Amino acid sequence: MRAMTAPGYCPREVYQACTNSVSDPGLRFRLNAVVESIVQSGEEYLDKGPTGQLYSIASNECDNDTVVTGHVTKKELKDVYSFHMVPRTKPARSIYDSLVASAPFGRCPFCGFGHATTLDHYLPKSKFPKLSVMPLNLVPSCKDCNSGKQARTPTTEEEQSLHPYFDQSHFVECQWLFARVLQTSPVTLQFFVSPPNDWSETSKSRVHAHFDEFRLAARYAVESSSQLACLRDTLAIHREINGAEAVKQHLNIEARSSSLQYRNSWQTAMFQALANSDWYCNGGFL
Ligand SMILES: [Zn+2]
């Protein structure tokens, strides 16, 4: 997970930028009449996000035609996003684009490697329609993270994946992602989560939830396999010139520099695991 600065957009302005482009005057009137309810939902989100309490926001487990606030149905609120923020012809699309563009180096903050090309509703609009255009609920994401998420909504703090706008400090500063070398031919890596012992049980559960939610074990294994293939030739040259110790030294340097950039990237976990494997450094990479 990559920490991000939370977007500075005002929820009221974003909602109204969307509803202003509704051409049906009756619908526009009804949508504008519930703006205070939308703003209130945004305030609750801002209140609960920083303390990991988003799971406690009440969901709307109703069908699309049910009225969820004022005289507005669930579908009409979801459509504010789908028809008035996403389409390139709508004025509020500029907000959408700006949120996507805020991803660090264009990478998805959930997995850390996919291209951020879309927005993910941290709390899904299918269950939280009043948050469909709430800026803090819209996180840049790659398509795999966005579409691969489990449909289940967390009901406890422990079940929540990490939120790039709120979950920073120890989730970013302490290492919890690791890998182990499997002595296969070619070599493969198994990624796993091992949070620090002194963390609370809630924090430990949340990094596990994040890792599982985005299927990171399998996806990091695929990403690392191509990097491992590239490493072969570089390491063979180090070994030829200075032996296995030079291989280990090269990998340790890569691990340190990766760790300085991101403590919990798959690259940091990969280089550490490789450097710590005598089997790999002694020719397992060939
Ligand atoms: Zn992703």
The pLDDT tens digits along the chain (286 residues) read 999 999 999 999 999 999 999 999 999 999 999 999 999 999 999 999 999 999 999 999 999 999 999 999 999 999 999 999 999 999 999 999 999 999 999 999 999 999 999 999 999 999 999 999 999 999 999 999 999 876 678 999 999 999 999 998 999 999 999 999 999 999 999 999 999 999 999 999 999 999 999 999 999 999 999 999 999 999 999 999 988 899 999 999 999 999 999 999 999 999 999 999 999 999 988 8
What residue type is assigned to position 258 of the chain? S
Structure confidence at residue 85 (pLDDT): 98
Q: Using the 8-state DSSP alphabet, how is residue 85 labeled?
A: T
Structure confidence at residue 168 (pLDDT): 86
259 alpha carbon – ligand 1 mean position (Å): 19
* Tokens standing for residue 168: 């920073």
Q: Calculate the CA dihedral of residues 271, 273, 279, 280 and round it to 10 degrees.
A: -20
- Tell me the pTM: 0.95
70 alpha carbon – ligand 1 mean position (Å): 36
276 alpha carbon – ligand 1 mean position (Å): 28
Task: Please give the biggest Cα pair distance in the chain.
Answer: 77
CA distance 31 to 103: 30
86 alpha carbon – ligand 1 mean position (Å): 19
Question: Which residue in the block uniquely carries the two structure tokens 């991000």?
Answer: 4
Please state whether beta strands 67-69 and 188-193 pair in parallel, antiparallel, or not at all (unpaired).
Answer: unpaired
Alpha helices for 20-125 (secondary structure H): 25-33, 35-48, 74-84, 93-101
* Tokens standing for residue 276: 């710590």
Structure confidence at residue 192 (pLDDT): 98
108 alpha carbon – ligand 1 mean position (Å): 4
* Tokens standing for residue 123: 């709390």
The answer to whether 141 and 116 are in contact (CB under 8 A) is yes
142 alpha carbon – ligand 1 mean position (Å): 4
What residue type is assigned to position 229 of the chain? A
CA distance 159 to 146: 18
